[in-house]
């Protein structure tokens, strides 16, 4: 590809791949650029070139010369570009934001010309199957950014957009075959950059989903490995145990820990050896390249616990050095608050080093919300489970940087998990949009899309209206049912209220022990108006709150406004209807 001038780290490592390229001699001449070392590896089809780019180097093109026995083999033109220092690039994603997660193949088809691309392994387009491509693309997402903005979304996160040239299920994006190329069935690198710029122009941010741990078997460098240690090798195929506990367990055997970290995710996804410095350089530089090239605001790190811990800490430091405002959060599909917190920054006593990972995907909060909605109240069950999860926030350096969600592309949809109970749906969405952390919603939740993760992967169904010829267009109000519009408007009201609520965007959280099966918490700023009071009543009966016990947060306040209805009421006696999460602004 190309690189940039003015980077914090002057080092750059280029991979050269070509038949017996190691037999050549390499040279280059360009002011401020120095060829420090030419590294030969096991496979003679590779050279790794170590360059330094001085702070004085200017943007421009220069040849890298390859000769064999003094005769010219190749002059490759490489380019340095100026860093883009435009205002509003790489803003970071915070508690002020509301993330919308979508799968580009299943959201909207904005360009039919790229539905099938000749030369790729999979050339089947079949919307009747959940395992083939459906034709959604980047242009389809761009076409509906206004829909998302109207809904109250501030940040868009897509599952990986880069090339997945695999024979089956290539649509999901997690089996990369070229790290530097947008999958041509989604568009081009240039279109991806346009997507980010268009989102920014509309006041929205972009998160890119990246995978450190594994690749697809169709990757060009897997087909011709630079060295055996490029991926983890086993005497016979060995799959990861998926046991994150082995990474943190002080009693764990080294064999169990190795199987967790070095085992392959699935047979079609080779596990990269992140202790290999060449692999480290390749991944780190690739992620820096995409951020600088496109102006991405944040990264979601797939399968975080499966990566080499020391490398991931070094990676985080290198990226933050280049992009101080960049936000990152790691996928920790684990059980329990302690398991999640173990991977976050600041736990140096437990780990012996700092992971420099600000936040994680907070599955414990998700499970706590589900228990509050579906469980029977008890000492540690029902609403008490959610209270207990939040009480463990002391384990994090900063829990507000955790990403909280009710579902995603790997799990059953929220509306189905609450048995299509619309009251519980509204309860859950109210908690999601008022709880500490960065809320994330899976595409279609706003129109009550449903289904379970098994069987048949129906949680990845198409968004109705995203394709020409769809019988219903749920991007517009007249295409939705009355209940779908009620759900859409409920989310829209809360999400847009959140955009202007200092307490929900930057406020602290104070929670009270659930009493009479009602869980109450507050979001507040000490010196700002607009404290938000949230009362969760998961029972079948209306409850009346004794507000005297909340005096720490309600003292001096007489009136509360219902955020959804807009109605005002006295703070002295608050009635919480059955199966309701009441959201009140105190004034």
Is the pLDDT at 541 greater than 80, yes or no? yes
Q: Over the stretch 388-433, which tens digit does the pLDDT of each residue have?
A: 999 999 999 999 999 999 999 999 999 999 999 999 999 999 999 9
Neighbour tally for 508: CB within 10 Å: 12
Do 115 and 123 touch, CB atoms closer than 8 A?
no
pLDDT (mean) for 352-363: 96
Q: What is the pLDDT of residue 528?
A: 77
Domain definitions of the chain by residue range: 3-81, 96-208+407-499, 508-586
User: Where does the pLDDT of residue 135 fall: very low under 50, low under 70, confident under 90, or very high at 90 and above?
Assistant: very high
Query: Is residue 110 reached through a cis peptide bond, with omega within 30 degrees of 0 on the bond before it?
Result: no
In sequence order, which ranges of 270-421 are alpha helices (DSSP H)?
277-294, 309-322, 337-342, 348-351, 363-374, 383-391, 414-417
Specify the range with the lowest mean pLDDT, choosing from 11-15, 64-68, 323-327, 526-530.
526-530
Tokens (6 digits) for 388: 């207990």
pLDDT for position 216: 98
Instruction: Categorize the per-residue pLDDT at 348 as very low, low, confident or very high, splitting at 50, 70 and 90.
Output: confident
Residue 349 has a pLDDT of: 84
Q: Are strands 11-17 and 46-53 parallel, antiparallel or unpaired?
A: antiparallel
Bridge pairing between strands 298-301 and 543-546: unpaired
- Which pLDDT score is estimated for 499? 96
Please check the confidence at residue 270 and state whether its pLDDT lies above 90: yes
- Tokens coding 492: 């829209």
302, 308, 371, 407: the catalytic one is 302
Helix (H, G, I), strand (E, B), or coil: what is residue 523?
strand
Percent of the chain, pLDDT > 70? 100
pLDDT band for position 169 (50/70/90)? Answer: confident
- Measured from the Cβ of residue 230, the count of other Cβ atoms closer than 10 Å reads 22
**Contact at 8 Å (CB) between 258 and 246?**
no
How many whole angstroms separate alpha carbon 585 and alpha carbon 587?
7
What is the mean predicted confidence (pLDDT) over 315-321?
Answer: 98
Strand partners, 30: 33
Residue 236: is its pLDDT beyond 90?
yes
Band of pLDDT at residue 105, cut at 50, 70 and 90: very high
For the 508-586 domain, the top CATH level (class) is mainly beta
Q: Per-residue pLDDT averaged across 450-458, rounded?
A: 87
Domains 3-81 and 508-586 share a fold: yes
Average pLDDT on 445-459 reads 91
- CATH superfamily for 96-208+407-499 is Glycosidases (3.20.20.80)
pLDDT at 454: 81
Provide the pLDDT confidence category of residue 527 given band limits of 50, 70 and 90: confident
Q: Is the model's pLDDT at 455 over the cut of 80?
A: no
388 part of the active site: no
Residue 262 is among the residues annotated as catalytic for this protein:
no
Mean per-residue pLDDT for 143-148?
98
User: Topology of 3-81 in CATH?
Assistant: Immunoglobulin-like (2.60.40)
Residue 297: the pLDDT is 98
Separation of alpha carbons 460 and 468, rounded Å: 19
Residue 68 three-state SS: strand
**Least confident among 185-194, 345-354, 428-437:** 345-354
Encoded tokens for 398 = 């900063």
Per the CB < 8 A criterion, the answer to whether 581 and 406 are in contact is no
Residue 457: what pLDDT?
85
The catalytically annotated residue of 137, 292, 297, 331 is 331
Whole-angstrom distance, CA of residue 360 vs CA of residue 344: 7
Q: What is the mean pLDDT of the chain?
A: 97
Q: Answer yes or no: pTM beyond 0.95.
A: yes
pLDDT average, residue stretch 228-254: 97
Q: According to the model, what pLDDT value does residue 529 have?
A: 84
């Amino acid at each position: 590809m190309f690189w940039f001038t003015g980077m914090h780290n002057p080092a750059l490592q280029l991979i050269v791949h070509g038949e017996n390229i190691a037999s050549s001699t390499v040279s280059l001449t360009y002011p401020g650029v120095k060829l420090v070392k030419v590294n030969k590896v096991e496979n003679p089809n590779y050279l790794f070139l170590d360059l330094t780019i001085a702070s004085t180097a200017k943007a421009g093109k220069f040849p890298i010369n390859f000769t064999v026995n003094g005769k010219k083999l190749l002059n490759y033109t490489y380019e340095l570009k100026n860093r883009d220092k435009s205002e509003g690039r790489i803003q970071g994603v915070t508690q002020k934001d509301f993330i919308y997660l979508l799968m580009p193949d299943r959201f909207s088809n904005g360009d039919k010309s790229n539905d099938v691309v000749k030369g790729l392994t999979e050339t089947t387009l079949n919307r009747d199957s959940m395992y083939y491509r459906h034709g959604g693309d980047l242009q389809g997402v761009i076409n509906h950014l206004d829909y998302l903005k109207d809904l109250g979304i501030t940040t868009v996160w897509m599952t990986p957009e880069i090339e997945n040239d695999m024979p089956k299920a290539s649509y999901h994006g997690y089996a990369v075959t070229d790290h530097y190329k947008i999958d041509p069935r989604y568009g081009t690198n240039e279109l991806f950059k346009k997507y980010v710029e268009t989102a920014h122009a509309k006041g929205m941010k972009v998160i890119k989903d990246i995978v450190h741990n594994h690749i697809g078997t169709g990757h060009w460098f897997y087909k011709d490995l630079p060295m055996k240690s490029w991926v983890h090798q086993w005497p016979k195929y060995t799959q990861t145990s998926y046991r994150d506990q082995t990474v943190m367990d002080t009693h764990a055997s080294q064999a169990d820990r190795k199987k967790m970290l070095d085992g392959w995710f699935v047979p079609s996804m080779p596990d990269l050896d992140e202790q290999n410095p060449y692999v480290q350089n390749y991944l780190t530089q690739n992620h820096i390249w995409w951020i600088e090239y496109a102006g991405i605001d944040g990264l979601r790190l797939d399968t975080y616990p499966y990566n080499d811990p020391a490398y991931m800490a070094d990676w985080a430091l290198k990226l933050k050095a280049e992009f101080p405002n960049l936000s990152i959060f790691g996928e920790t599909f684990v059980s329990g608050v302690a398991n999640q917190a173990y991977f976050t920054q600041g736990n140096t006593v437990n780990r012996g080093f700092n992971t420099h990972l600000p936040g994680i995907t907070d599955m414990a909060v998700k499970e706590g919300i589900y228990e509050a909605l579906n469980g029977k109240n008890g000492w540690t069950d029902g609403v008490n489970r959610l209270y207990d999860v939040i009480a463990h926030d002391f384990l994090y350096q900063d829990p507000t940087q955790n990403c909280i969600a009710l579902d995603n592309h790997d799990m059953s949809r929220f509306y189905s998990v609450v048995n299509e109970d619309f009251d519980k749906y509204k309860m859950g969405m109210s908690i999601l949009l008022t709880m500490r952390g960065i809320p994330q919603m899976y595409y279609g939740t706003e129109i009550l899309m449903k289904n379970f993760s098994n069987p048949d992967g129906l949680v990845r169904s198409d968004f109705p209206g995203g394709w020409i010829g769809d019988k219903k267009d749920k991007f517009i109000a007249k295409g939705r049912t009355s209940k779908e519009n009620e759900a859409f408007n409920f989310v829209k009201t809360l999400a847009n209220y959140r955009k202007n609520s200092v307490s929900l965007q930057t406020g602290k959280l104070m929670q009270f022990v659930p009493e009479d099966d009602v869980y109450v918490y507050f979001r507040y700023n000490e010196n700002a108006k607009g404290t938000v009071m949230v009362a969760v009543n998961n029972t079948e009966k209306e409850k009346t709150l004794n507000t005297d016990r909340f005096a720490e947060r309600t003292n001096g306040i007489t009136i509360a406004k219902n955020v959804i209805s807009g109605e005002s009421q006295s703070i002295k006696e608050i009635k919480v209807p059955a199966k309701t999460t009441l959201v009140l602004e105190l004034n």
